[in-house]
Amino acid sequence: MNFKITLLPGDGIGPEIVTEAVRVLDVVASKFGHSFAYTERLMGGCSIDKFGSSLTDETLADCQACDAVLLGAVGGPKWDDPNAKDRPERGLLALRKGLGVFANLRPVKVHPALIDSSPLKPEKLQGVDILVIRELTGGLYFGWPKGRDVKDGRERAVDTLEYYDYEIRRVMELAFSLAAGRKKKVTSVDKANVLESSRLWRQIATKIGSQHPDIALEHVLVDTASMRLITGPAWMDVVVTENMFGDILTDEASVLAGSMGMLPSASLGDKGPGLYEPIHGSAPDIAGKGIANPIGTILSTAMLLRHSLKLEAEAVSIENAVDQTITDGCRTGDIGGKLSTKQMADEIISRL
Catalytic sites, residue numbers: 141, 191, 223, 247, 251
* Backbone dihedral region for residue 121 (phi beyond 0: left; psi -120 to 50: alpha; all else: beta): beta
- Contacts of residue 294, defined as CB under 8 A and 6 or more positions apart, other chains included, come to 16, 17, 20, 21, 332, 341, 344, 345, 348
Instruction: Report the residue number, 106 or 331, with the smaller CB distance to ligand IPM.
Output: 106
Answer with the entry of Mg ion, ligand IPM, none that 92 interacts with (C-beta below 5 to 8 A by kind). Answer: ligand IPM
Cβ proximity to ligand IPM, 48 vs 217, nearer residue: 48
The full length of the chain comes to 352
* Closest residue to ligand IPM in the complex (CB): 89
Beta bridge partners of 40: 7
Residues 69-88 that bind ligand IPM (CB under 6 A): 75
Distance between CA 352 and CA 348 in Å, rounded? 6
In Å, how far from its chain's centre is CA 34? 26
- The nearest distance, CB 95 to ligand IPM, in angstroms, is 10
* Nearest approach, Cβ of residue 247 and Mg ion (Å): 4
Q: Write down the least CB distance from residue 75 to ligand IPM, Å.
A: 6
Contact 240, 175 (CB under 8 A): yes
Report the nearest approach of ligand IPM to the CB of residue 350 (Å). Answer: 30
Site for ligand IPM in 86-145 (CB under 6 A): 89, 92
* CB 217, CB 206: distance < 8 Å: yes
DSSP designation for 332: B
Rg (CA), the chain: 20
In the shown chain, the binding pattern of residues 252 to 281 toward ligand IPM, with x for contact by CB under 6 A and - for none, equals ---------------------------x-x
Q: With respect to ligand IPM, which residue has the nearer C-beta, 161 or 215? A: 161
> Which of residues 20 and 247 has its CB atom nearest to ligand IPM in the complex?
247
Amino acid at 346: D
CB nearer to ligand IPM: give 36 or 141: 141
Q: How far is the CB of 255 from ligand IPM (least distance, A)?
A: 14
Q: At closest approach, how far in Å is the CB of 99 from Mg ion?
A: 18
Site string for ligand IPM, 219-248 (x = CB under 6 A): ----------------------------x-
Give the residue from 76, 74, 79, 77 showing the smallest Cα distance to 94: 74
With H, G, I as helix, E, B as strand and everything else as coil, classify residue 131: strand
CA-CA-CA-CA torsion sign (145, 146, 150, 156)? positive
Q: Which does 44 bind (CB under 5 to 8 A by kind): ligand IPM, Mg ion, none?
A: none
- Which element (helix H / strand E) includes 92? helix 88-99
11 binds ligand IPM (CB under 6 A): no
Q: Where along the sequence are the contacts to ligand IPM (CB under 6 A)?
A: 75, 89, 92, 247, 279, 281
